[in-house]
Chains A and B, each alone.
Chain A
Amino acid sequence: MERKNNYKAWLYLAPILIFIFLFTIFPIINTFIISFLKNYNYATGANEGFTFENYGLILGITERIPGVSESKMLDFIRYALPNTLLITFVSVPISVILALVISILLNKIKVLHDLFQTIFFLPYVTNTIAVGMVFAIIFSNTGLFNNIFGLGNVNWVQEGLGSTWGKCMFVLCLYVIWTGLPFKILIFSSALHNIDQQYYDAARIDATPKWKTDLKIVLPLISPQILYITITSFITGFKEYNAIIGLFNRSYTINPNVHDLYTVVYYIYDQIQGTNGTRHLEYAAAGAVVLFVIILIFTLIQMKVAKKRVHY
């Protein structure tokens, strides 16, 4: 029976193996290789051999025209990477803390609990592009935001039409926080829900003030989920792209050569799509590998911290 299962199992696995090899495993290896090919032509596969230059180029070290320092490509190192880190390190802590606060509050109510839980989950289902466009309307110079807060004619989202990099980043972080909340709230809520009632009873018997119960007992009890959420949010933060497209569109600047709202993933897709008519998949590949390394580091940190945290 064991042996019979053996070949049969591979029959069941055949479809997934074909797909996963063609569209996951092979691409990972191939992209890694492309990142080391000079002047790679995606249509013909032609290239000029092995090189580290792609990394040098996107990281702004190598000059495209030797000797001319102005020919360095600085979009990645000057905009994409700093913007990505900024978005991540601003939005993740805020949204994690906000989600915790909302979940803890939500855990305290019974009436309408399910309704609010559903409301807070709603953004998870929505189209990031579509709601990004709504945010853009709300934050436009004649929009609702200015109207509510009486700010006059401030343009938040249209760079070149009055907005600046800073204002755009502000709205972007706000939007990223908004889109990140539902998943976090749901996970925290279910973690809170799963805490044994006995812990609350024990705290009550011991005359623990409510704030102290939340801070000293409840939070430590859900610390594994907090850690998990924090790390996964960092990883999603590093891959931010749709929010920017939704808010600012691809043609957000008057000057097509200014890319100060680039993120790492935005940069990668712009290289695939081709900024000036030519697609540079080798640059995109190098960017993707850099992204992978960043994510790998964070995943390793998670595993390390999680190990320490298993027994609390």
Chain B
Amino acid sequence: MKELEITTHLTLIVPGKNRSVKNAEKRDKILHGIFLAIVYIFIIIFAFVVLLPFYYMIAASFMVEDQLNSGAFFPSLANIFETIANNYTHTISNPSFPYGELLLNTLIVGIVTTASSLLVTILSAFAFAKLHFKGKEVLFTIFLATMMIPGEMMAITNFTTMANLGFVSADQNRLQTYLALILPFVSNVFYIYLLRQTFMQIPNELYLASKVDGKSDWQYLWKVMVPLSSSTLITIFIMNFIESWNSYVWPNLVILNDDYNVLSIALRSTTFQVLEHEVWRPVYTQQMAATVLTTVPLLLLFIFFRKYIMRGVERAGIKG
């Protein structure tokens, strides 16, 4: 029986002694360089597209109307400071866009929502991570299951609840408005999940050691667990705050009294316009100044806490 005899005839192609390895190496290096250059070009193009809206938001707020309406890419440098001052003063003096007031409302709602949510989250994550009680697994599974249900289902009933409590009405007062904005967002299952994971990573020996030292659960939670989990807590705080700052749907439903408006609602509902030849004409440069004023605080937050935010989102993705 004859065999296929591949093995005996098989020789790898390896560069012969006469072939210049150095030259091949040189060629490979050049090819690699070209390849890398192409990669960078693509990345830079993509980065440009991603950054364009941010750039144009700022650029547009530095333009005079005629420039913006001609689709200019760069603001003209002539009288640029006057243009900026003009755009921004008009924007914040617009009665529908009282920037200071809006900023205050947005900040208060954001901070109170985030702080109360964090408190509730810490307590429950501790119970789920370290304490024993009947039905723990079942309860946690129910919690997780609610994450799957679209928020719109909650919004409908929450709206009636807030209306029935008298918080949603044309003559709502400041406190009522804030409560209507805050209460539905105190509980957030995803953050409980995230913090529970962190708490569970803290070795149980620490817990037993603190018991031996005579610390109560309460002391242990605040003196040991919370400081050790500070980076997760910061992540949760920032993500939660960003969410609150950017929310539009719910505030749009429950704020009926414009005195207590928040930024994103006012930004969308305000029409920046001038009366010209007895016709109201929109002024988009001022609108862009308003978007800058709405967006920049968040961008600053992002720049300072970049690591926490990106790490948090990464963890959020890994859970799947």
Contact = CB atoms under 8 A, between A and B. Distances in A.
Contact of A281 (B156, B301, B310): B156
Contact of B153 (A15, A28, A102, A120): A28
A269 interface: yes
Given A10-B133, A120-B50, A289-B153, A16 B123 contact: yes
Interface residues of A, number: 95
Nearest to B292: A130
Contact of B302 (A16, A23, A122): A122
Interface in A116-149: 116-131, 133-135, 137-138, 140, 142-148
Contacts of B264: 127, 129-130
A269 B187 contact: no
Contacts of A186: 310, 313-314, 317
A13 B127 CA distance: 7
Interface stretch (B54-62, B82-90, B96-104): B54-62
B309 interface: yes
B299 interface: yes
A172 to B, nearest CB: 14
Q: Give the secondary structure class of B's interface.
A: helix
A43 B159 CA distance: 10
B154 A134 contact: no
A13 B242 CA distance: 26
A129 B268 contact: yes
A137 to B, nearest CB: 6
A147 B294 CA distance: 27
A266 B202 CA distance: 44
Contacts of B189: 20, 24
Contacts of B194: none
A68 interface: no
Contacts of A45: 160
Interface in B20-38: 35-36
B51 A122 contact: yes
A257 interface: no
A20 B143 contact: yes
Contacts of B301: 125
A288 interface: yes
Contacts of B288: 133-134, 137
B206 interface: no
Interface string A141-161: 011111110000000000000
B69 interface: yes
B124 A23 contact: no
Contacts of A13: 123-124, 127, 139
A109 B295 CA distance: 30
Contacts of A122: 50-51, 54, 299, 302
Contact of B268 (A15, A142, A246, A288): A246
Contacts of B54: 122, 126, 131, 134
B146 A16 contact: no
A115 B49 CA distance: 15
Given A126-B295, A127-B294, A147-B72, A19 B120 contact: yes
Given A15-B120, A126-B299, A265 B152 contact: yes
Interface in B161-195: 161, 163-164, 183-184, 186-187, 189, 192
Interface in A91-132: 102, 105-106, 108-109, 116-131
A23 B47 contact: no
Given A131-B53, A228-B320, A291-B150, A24 B46 contact: no
B246 A225 contact: no
B248 A128 contact: yes
Nearest to B315: A190
**Max chain A CB contacts within 10 Å: which of B153, B267, B298, B309?**
B153
B50 A133 contact: no
Interface in B279-320: 284, 287-288, 291, 294-295, 298-299, 301-302, 306, 309-310, 313-314, 317-318, 320
A242 B264 CA distance: 11
B295 A131 contact: yes
Interface stretch (A49-57, A70-78, A81-89, A292-300): A292-300
9 contacts: A12-B124, A13-B127, A16-B123, A25-B146, A28-B149, A102-B43, A133-B287, A291-B152, A296-B148
Given A20-B187, A245-B268, 6 more contacts: A13-B127, A28-B149, A31-B153, A147-B70, A239-B151, A291-B153
Q: Give the 8 A-B residue pairs with the shortest CB-CB distance, closest first.
A: A147-B71, A27-B157, A228-B320, A187-B317, A9-B133, A19-B187, A16-B124, A12-B127
Interface of A: 2, 5-6, 8-10, 12-13, 15-16, 19-20, 22-28, 30-32, 34, 42-43, 45, 102, 105-106, 108-109, 116-131, 133-135, 137-138, 140, 142-148, 178, 181-183, 186-187, 190, 210, 225, 228-229, 231-232, 239, 241-242, 245-246, 249, 265, 268-269, 272-273, 281, 284-285, 287-289, 291-292, 295-296, 299
Interface of B: 35-36, 39-40, 42-43, 46-47, 49-54, 56-57, 60, 68-73, 119-121, 123-124, 126-127, 131-134, 136, 139, 142-143, 146, 148-161, 163-164, 183-184, 186-187, 189, 192, 217, 242, 245-246, 248-249, 252-253, 264, 267-268, 284, 287-288, 291, 294-295, 298-299, 301-302, 306, 309-310, 313-314, 317-318, 320
